[in-house]
């Protein structure tokens, strides 16, 4: 794992929450059974909630990057469909207007928090307004949590790095379908793009220190 070397500045750092849908992280969700073992082993959902609460407490900007919710007719006129899109289409993942396509209760955006356009594949940035929304708030650094480590998290982290953001990934606030996939994402792939891969205790401490520094500077 890589470690945080530069303290956060609450003026230019945002928390980026990826895909906290019921279908992913709630009992009975269409995909929950596939990630349950990994998510429960590292307390992913509880850690996500702790980090979101901490960010809100210090008034750190919060952004949501949500996957496209299935709607009737999706992809019917597309010439090419990526395998991951085809799978979501067949499962009707995150179906619009259903419980599975709603935010898990702890992660419903609060007033003043920003929800980017839904991404159709994996990256929260590709073909959405996320980059524009972050830049308009002066955000240069993002702390990334959510689902799934080797798909939407990794793709979003890679794209963020390409766009020049400093990226932190919280290793126990993401989950995947298997330990092998988690290791590939966190130990092989994302260290090439994330400047820090740290755990929940470390990021909570860093957020607290950033808030203290901000008060001292006033």
Domains in the chain (CATH in brackets) are 13-71+82-217 (3.40.50.850)
First to last CA, the chain: 34
pLDDT (average), residues 40-54: 98
pLDDT band at 165 (very low <50, low <70, confident <90, very high): very high
Q: What confidence score (pLDDT) does residue 33 get?
A: 97
Q: Which of 23-27, 36-40, 68-72 has the lowest mean pLDDT?
A: 68-72
Which helix H or strand E contains 171, and what residues bound it?
strand 166-174
Model pTM?
Answer: 0.94
* Three-class secondary structure of residue 210 per DSSP: helix
- Pairing relationship of beta strands 196-198 and 166-174 according to DSSP bridges: parallel
Comparing CA positions, the residue from 157, 171, 144 lying closest to residue 1 is 171
pLDDT (average), residues 77-95: 88
Taking the CB of residue 80, how many other CB atoms lie within 10 A of it? 6
Taking the CB of residue 179, how many other CB atoms lie within 10 A of it? 12
Strand order in the sheet with 196-198: 114-115, 62-65, 13-18, 141-146, 166-174, 196-198
pLDDT band at 76 (very low <50, low <70, confident <90, very high): confident
pLDDT at residue 6 tops 80: no
Q: What confidence score (pLDDT) does residue 87 get?
A: 83
Q: What confidence score (pLDDT) does residue 143 get?
A: 98
Q: What confidence score (pLDDT) does residue 94 get?
A: 95
């Amino acid at each position: 794992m890589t470690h945080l070397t530069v303290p956060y500045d609450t003026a230019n750092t945002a928390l980026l929450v990826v895909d906290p849908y019921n279908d992913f992280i709630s009992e009975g969700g269409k995909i929950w059974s596939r990630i349950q073992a990994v998510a429960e082993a590292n307390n992913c959902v509880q850690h996500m909630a702790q980090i979101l609460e901490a960010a809100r407490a210090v008034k750190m900007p919060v952004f949501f990057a949500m996957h496209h919710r299935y709607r009737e007719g999706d992809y019917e006129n597309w010439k090419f469909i990526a395998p991951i899109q085809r799978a979501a289409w067949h499962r009707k993942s995150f179906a619009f207007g259903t419980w599975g396509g709603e935010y898990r209760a702890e992660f419903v955006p609060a007033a003043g928090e920003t929800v980017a356009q839904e991404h159709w594949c994996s990256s929260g940035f590709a073909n959405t307004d996320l980059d524009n929304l972050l830049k308009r708030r002066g955000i240069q650094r993002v702390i990334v949590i959510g689902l799934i480590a080797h798909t939407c998290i990794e793709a979003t982290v890679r794209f963020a790095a390409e766009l020049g953001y400093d990226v932190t990934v919280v290793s126990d606030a993401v989950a995947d379908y298997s330990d092998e996939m988690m290791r590939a994402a966190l130990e092989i792939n994302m260290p090439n793009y994330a400047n820090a891969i740290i755990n929940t205790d470390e990021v909570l401490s860093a957020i607290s220190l950033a808030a203290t520094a901000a008060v001292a500077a006033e």
